[in-house]
Amino acid sequence: MNVKAVIVEDEEASRITLKNYVTKYCSGVEIVGEADGVKNGLEAIKMHKPDLIFLDIEMPYGNAFDLLEQFDDVFFETIFVTAYSNYAVKAINYSACHYLLKPIDIDELVIATQKVISKIQDKKRSQENLNTKILLENIQITNSQLKKIVLPVLDGFEVVEVQEIIRCKANDNFTDFHLIDGKKKVICRTLKFYDQILSELGFVRVHKSHLINMQYVKAYKKGKGGYIEMQDGSMVDVSASKKQAFLDHYKR
């Protein structure tokens, strides 16, 4: 059974290229509809009821999130497409959604579609739909500490608010999340990944192995780098190279 897909992309050349790539390289995916904007995209989705949407983020007269907000029940998977490496990518990463950067890399396209197909066939759509819902919630929240993040754990996933996270610690290719309730979550991604998406939400990398939520800093003790006491009683080393960035936070 083929996965039905709709492409929502305002640039005709990009739309044609993506359709050709999907048709040629993504077995199991059938393009059943196309649209060049939010209004037409909404109509195409309602008409074809696809399993998957290839959705351009920035379009005339609205963007991808304007379109998604029209649905109370997100019944499809979404692969976002964007020409901007920084635009909205961090928001997407919070929510563990799939995205492709333009110009589209065929290998990345194949990997993304295979993941979506596998999850549809395994009847795990509830997680993916939750990812999109959390993305929309995050777009609307102005207080960054109230945003939510989807954490892929060893046996599934968990959703936490940013304000629940006290600190993150590198653990080889994993990251240990230490939460306000005293629990520790082992997450299947590197600390570097979370440094990139949490740095604008009140987190500071104070050591190659430590990323902390600044709202939970209790005290700082001077030294070559020094160390920080967090509100949960934990002590976090500060490297000499990261010390100034930490101290600069209090000059803002």
What does the pLDDT look like over 36-92, one tens digit per residue?
999 999 999 999 999 999 999 888 888 888 898 888 777 888 999 988 766 556 656
Quick count: other Cβ atoms within 10 Å of Cβ 247? 12
Name the token pair of 121: 């066939």
Q: Do both 118 and 54 map to the same domain?
A: yes
pLDDT band at 196 (very low <50, low <70, confident <90, very high): confident
Q: Do both 63 and 112 map to the same domain?
A: yes
Last residue of a domain, one of 139, 157, 174: 139
Q: Do both 148 and 64 map to the same domain?
A: no
pLDDT for the residue numbered 169? 96
pLDDT at 126 over 60: no
Q: What is the pLDDT of residues 144-180, one digit of tens each?
A: 777 888 888 766 778 899 999 999 999 988 899 999 9
Who has greater pLDDT, 98 or 3? 3
Q: Which residues sit opposite 80 in a β-bridge?
A: 55, 99
User: Cα separations (Å) of 56 from 62, 79, 219?
Assistant: 11, 9, 45
Q: Do both 112 and 178 map to the same domain?
A: no
Q: Which residues sit opposite 176 in a β-bridge?
A: 169, 186
- Phi, psi for 113 (deg, rounded to 5): -70, -35
Specify the residue for token string 């945003």: 147
Which residues, other chains included, contact 26 with Cβ-Cβ below 8 Å and sequence gap of 6+? 109, 110, 113, 114
Q: How far apart are CA 190 and CA 208, in angstroms?
A: 11
pLDDT at 19 over 90: yes
What's the pTM? 0.57
Last residue of a domain, one of 139, 158, 186: 139
Q: Do both 33 and 116 map to the same domain?
A: yes
Q: Do both 11 and 133 map to the same domain?
A: yes
- Domain extent, residue 45, equals 3-139
pLDDT for the residue numbered 35? 96
* Average pLDDT of the segment spanning 112-136: 72
Q: Do both 148 and 129 map to the same domain?
A: no
Position 238, amino acid: V
pLDDT at 140 over 90: no
* Average pLDDT of the segment spanning 207-231: 93
Question: How many domains, in total, are found in the chain?
Answer: 2
- Residue 15 has, within 13 A of its CA and on its CB side, a CA count of 19
pLDDT for the residue numbered 236? 95
CATH of the domain at 119: 3.40.50.2300
Last residue of a domain, one of 139, 154, 176: 139
Q: Do both 133 and 153 map to the same domain?
A: no
pLDDT at 119 over 90: no
Q: Do both 147 and 229 map to the same domain?
A: yes
Q: Do both 104 and 213 map to the same domain?
A: no
CATH of the domain at 184: 2.40.50.1020
Who has greater pLDDT, 72 or 238? 238
Q: Do both 161 and 215 map to the same domain?
A: yes
* Average pLDDT of the segment spanning 7-35: 95
Neighbour-count burial for 215-230, b at 16+ CB within 10 Å, e otherwise: ebbeebeeeebbbbeb
Q: Which residues sit opposite 54 in a β-bridge?
A: 7, 79
pLDDT for the residue numbered 96? 57
Q: Do both 122 and 20 map to the same domain?
A: yes
Q: What is the pLDDT of residues 200-215, one digit of tens each?
A: 889 999 999 999 999 9
Q: How far apart are CA 199 and CA 205, in angstroms?
A: 8
